[in-house]
Chains A and B, each alone.
Chain A
Amino acid sequence: GDSVTQTEGPVTLSEGTSLTVNCSYETKQYPTLFWYVQYPGEGPQLLFKVPKANEKGSSRGFEATYNKEATSFHLQKASVQESDSAVYYCALSDTRTNAYKVIFGKGTHLHVLP
């Protein structure tokens, strides 16, 4: 079945350093890939999504490229800020195989130190 595997946390960085959170997926179809972010005390919210292979998504300085050949969707940011401290979830959906299911990774907890 479909699955998503991402960097296990927690990840602790100093402000101004770069971030990479690895995400790999397994599916037999052509999914849309997502990154969600969850701030303390809130529910997850969409960071951005990419529906097509070989395209890039971005938001708030974060970006990821849908790499179909490598089945990867790594999240990157050049310079993190303390306000980026949150849990990040990689996810996929494929309504052509299952109209309703969204598969999430286990989440990566990011701590950014001032």
Chain B
Amino acid sequence: EAAVTQSPRNKVAVTGGKVTLSCNQTNNHNNMYWYRQDTGHGLRLIHYSYGAGSTEKGDIPDGYKASRPSQENFSLILELATPSQTSVYFCASGDADWGTSQNTLYFGAGTRLSVL
């Protein structure tokens, strides 16, 4: 069974509307991430979290907020959606191991968002 689950899988939103993308993980990992995937850009980090109650800015945080209310759940919030935020969004959990350089990510299946 999937350990990282995203909802919804597809979303159509209107410009200026509020969009919330949800992610749930059963890996019991401390770290969670939101990426967007666009042709020519690959995977770009929006926000990440290292535990319940924490959120940190990634490389492209403008226009996005994040919320981590529990170990299992991490949400991405678009307060005022714009057409430039049309993309595929991936959530991931990571098993970062202090003392080594390893941090393997486990991804969900993605949410395809269209902002009209």
Interface mask (B11-55 → A, CB under 8 Å = 1, otherwise 0): 000000000000000000001010000001111010010100000
Q: Which residues of A contact B105 (CB under 8 A)?
A: 36, 44, 46, 102
Q: Which residues of B contact A34 (CB under 8 A)?
A: 104
Bound-complex Cα distance A51 to B28 (A) = 23
The size bracket of the interface on A is 20 to 34
The B-contacting residues of A in range 79-102, CB under 8 angstroms, are: 89, 93-96, 99-102
- In the complex, residue of chain B having the shortest beta-carbon distance to the beta carbon of A45: B107
A30, A44, A51, A100 interface centre (most CB from chain B within 10 Å): A100
Contact B43 A32 (CB under 8 A): no
Indicate whether B96 reaches chain A with its CB closer than 8 angstroms: yes
The contact of A104 among B42, B97, B100, B108, by CB within 8 Å, is B42
The B-contacting residues of A in range 28-52, CB under 8 angstroms, are: 29-32, 34, 36, 41-46, 49, 51
Indicate whether A107 reaches chain B with its CB closer than 8 angstroms: yes
- In the complex, residue of chain A having the shortest beta-carbon distance to the beta carbon of B58: A101
Bound-complex Cα distance A49 to B106 (A) = 13
Indicate whether A74 reaches chain B with its CB closer than 8 angstroms: no
Bound-complex Cα distance A31 to B103 (A) = 10
The size bracket of the interface on B is 20 to 34
Indicate whether B102 reaches chain A with its CB closer than 8 angstroms: yes
Contact B42 A105 (CB under 8 A): yes
Chain B min CB distance to A91 (Å): 8
Contact A42 B101 (CB under 8 A): no
A44-B90 in contact given A32-B103, A49-B104, A100-B50 (Cβ < 8 Å)? yes
Contact B40 A106 (CB under 8 A): yes
The contact of A95 among B33, B100, B107, by CB within 8 Å, is B100
Measuring CB to CB, which residues of chain A are less than 8 angstroms from any residue of chain B? 29-32, 34, 36, 41-46, 49, 51, 89, 93-96, 99-102, 104-107
